[in-house]
Structure 1
Amino acid sequence: MTVVTLHSTEFGPADGFPVLAVHGWTPDHRLMTGCLEPVFAARAKSYRRLYPDLPGMGETPIGEVESADDILDSLNAYVDEHIGDKPFLIIGESYGGYLARALTQKRRSQVVGLALICPVGKAVWHRDRDVPPHEVLYRDDELEHLRGSEFDEVAVIQTSETFRRTQTEVVVGLNIADLPALDRIQQQWVLKEDPEDGESISVPTVIMAGRQDSSTGYRDSMALLEHYPRASFMVLDRAGHNLQIEQPELFEAITSEWLDRVEDSQLGAL
C-alpha cells in the first residue's frame, strides 16, 4: 500500500458534522468549494467541510503513488486522520465520484449520505463510456472568440459567468496538475475492487448527471441505481460535465434536498 498525505482546505466549525468532498481527475479542491460552499452557507445545521487535493493534483505531491488503488488508500488514510471513526457525508465529482463510491464501500458503517456529481459510472475508461456527442446549446455573442478553445469543447452553456467560474474553479487546478505523473497513473486507473461489489448501500444518495455531458454521460450512471436503493437520479438538460456551473440553481436545490434527507434520516444526530 502506497499512501501520500493529502493537502486539504477546511471550512466550518471543528465540531461540525464532517463532509468529505472529492474532486475529479486533474482539477483540485476548488472545483468543489466553488459549488458547495454556497449550499452549506445556507444551511442551519453545522457542517465541517473537508476538501482534499488528490495526489498529483492541487498542492498534493504525487509521491510514490502508482495506481487508482494508491489514491484510494491515500484518501482512506486522510479519513483516518481527519475524521476517524465518526459518521460522515461524502460528495464526489466525476472520477472523484468513482473514488467516493469505493470509499463508501470501505467505510459503509460510517458513511450516512452519498452525493455524486457527473460521476464516472460503471464504465471507467473513456473508450468504454456511452456518452452523447458534445454540443453547445447557448453561447453569448461576446464569447465567439472562444470557438475551438478547450472551454468550447466542454461547455454546453457558454456565458461570461460560466466562463468565469470554469476559469476560477476548474482551469486553475488543471494548470498546476502534475500531468506526466497522472498520465502514468492512468495506466492503472481502474480499482482492483469494483465499488459496487458487495451489499447495496442504503443511505440517502443523489446522482446528478448532465444530459449533454460528453465526458461521463448519464446512461452509465443509471446502471448504479440498483446498488443505491435510496438514490434520487437527476438528469439535467442544458448541462454538460460542469453541471454545477451550468445549472447552479438546480444544483444547489438538489444538493439541499439531499441534505434534508440525510438530516431526517439521522433523527437529530446531525
Structure 2
Amino acid sequence: MEIRAGQVVIHFVEHGTGRPVLVLHGAGVDHREAEACFEPVLAGVPGLRRIYPDLPGTGRTAAPETLRGADEVLDTLLAFADEVTGGTGHLLIGHSAGAHYARAMAARRPAEVAGLALVCPLLPGLRDVPQHRVVAGGGIGDDVFRSYFVVQTPEMLERYEHHVAPAAALVDEAALERIGERWALTPGHAPPYAGPTVIVAGRLDSTVGYAAAADLLDQYPHASLAVVDDAGHALPHEQPALLRALLTEWLERVERSGPPGDGDPMAAPRFPRP
C-alpha cells in the first residue's frame, strides 16, 4: 500500500483492524525486519491494526532531495501518522533509528500516543558502547551478519537472510548518507512523554550500547527498562520470547491507562477497544 505524507509517498503494509500501532524499523533495512520481529507478538493481541512503513530512503519509499535531515523525516512520519490514523490515538514502536523517530513523535503529539516502545534506541549522547562479541555459534554468514548478530546460529542466519539482507538492494545509500549528516533532531521544549513506555536494550549492543538507553528511565515517568544479556542490536531476533513478554506487559499497561482527560497531554489517548 502507498499513501502520500507531505512530499513523500510512503509504502507500507498493515495487518488487522482496531487500535493503530505504528512500527518503525531501523536504518539500512525496511519494514520486513520490523514485521518479522514484532508481528508474532502483535498478531496475537485482538483489536490491533499493525502498520509497518518503509522509512524514507529504504524499501519502496523514496527520499526526495527535500529530505535533508532527520527533522524533515520526522515531519514526514508525523504526516504519515495523521494519514493512517486519522488523528486518533495510536501506539508507537521503534527499533534503533525507528525508536529515535518514535521518541520525537511521542514528544510532539503526546495526546495522540497511547504508548511508546523503544527497542535498542538510537540516541544522542551514546556512551560506553561495548565491543562486538559473539556469545553463541559463529563462523557462518557474511560480514554484515557477523557484525550485527551476537547469536550466530543457523536459525539467526536464516532470519537475517530472509528479513534483513533483502533490504540492502533497495536502500538509497546517498539519501541515507544525506539524512545521516543531520541525524540529530532539533531539540523541543515539550515535557517528557508520560504515557506507558517500555525501553529494551541489548547489553552487548555494539551499535548503540545500553548505557544511554538506561539513562532514559529518568525521562519517562511511566517507563519500564530491561537491559538484556546475550543480545546485541539484533535483540528482536535474538531474544524473541523475552521481547514478547516485555511488550505484552506494556500493552497491558496501555490498556489500564484509561481514557484521556480533555486536552490533558499527560493522559493516555482515546482508542477503540478490542
Q: Same fold (TM over 0.5)?
A: yes
Counterpart of 2:170? 176
Unaligned runs of 5+ in 1: none
Q: Work out whether residues 211 and 239 of structure 1, in 8 Å CA contact, stay in contact via their aligned partners in 2.
A: yes
Counterpart residue number, 1:244: 236
What displacement does 1:153 show? 1.4
Aligned to 2:217: 225
Distance 1:266 1:91 in 2: 20
With over 3 angstroms needed to count, the CA separation of the structure-2 counterparts of 1:78 and 1:145, relative to structure 1, is closer
Identity percentage of aligned residues: 42
Counterpart CA distance in 1 for 2:196 and 2:34 is 20
> Hey, what's the Cα distance between the residues in 1 that align with 2:221 and 2:24?
22
SS of corresponding position for 1:42: coil
Does residue 136 of structure 2 align to residue 144 of structure 1?
A: no
What TM-score, normalized to structure 1?
Answer: 0.90
For 1:172 and 1:36, the matched residues in 2 are separated by 18
Q: Name the CA distance, whole Å, in 1 between partners of 2:178 and 2:61.
A: 16
Match of residue 155, structure 1, among 149, 163, 185: 149
2:14 aligns with one of 10, 14, 28: 10
Deviation at 1:225, TM superposition (A): 1.4
| C-alpha deviation, 1:252, in angstroms | 1.0
Look up the match of 1:207: 199
**One-letter amino acid of the counterpart of residue 214, structure 1:** S
Shift of 1:145: 4.2
Give the residue type in structure 2 aligned to 1:28: D
1:31 aligned residue: 33
The answer on whether the counterparts of 1:67 and 1:185 sit within 8 Å (CA) in structure 2 is: yes
For residues 174 and 230 of structure 1, the distance between their equivalents in structure 2, rounded to whole angstroms, comes to 37
In the alignment, is the contact (CA less than 8 A) between 1:121 and 1:224 conserved in 2? Answer: no
Q: Could you say what secondary structure the match of 1:59 adopts?
A: coil
Look up the SS of the partner of 2:187 in the other structure.
coil
- 1:211–1:218: 8 Å Cα contact kept in structure 2? yes
Q: Which moved more, 1:175-184 or 1:235-244?
A: 175-184
Residue 186 (structure 2) aligns with: 192
Q: Does structure 2 retain, via aligned residues, the 8 Å contact 1:122–1:224?
A: no
Tell me if the contact between 2:140 and 2:152 (Cα under 8 Å) persists in the aligned partners.
no
Does the CA-based 8 Å contact 1:5-1:78 persist in structure 2? no
For residues 123-147 of structure 1, what are the alpha-carbon distances to aligned partners after superposition, in whole Å with 9 as ceiling and x for unaligned? 2xxxx543111000111xxx5244x
SS in 1 for 2:181: helix
In structure 2, list runs of 5 or more residues that go unmatched: 260-270
Question: How many aligned residue pairs are there?
Answer: 257
Choose the corresponding residue for 1:130, options 100, 109, 128. 128
Looking at structure 2, the residues matched to 168 and 86 of structure 1 have their Cα atoms a distance apart, in angstroms, of: 34
2:30 equivalent to 1:48? no
Name the amino acid aligned to 1:150: V
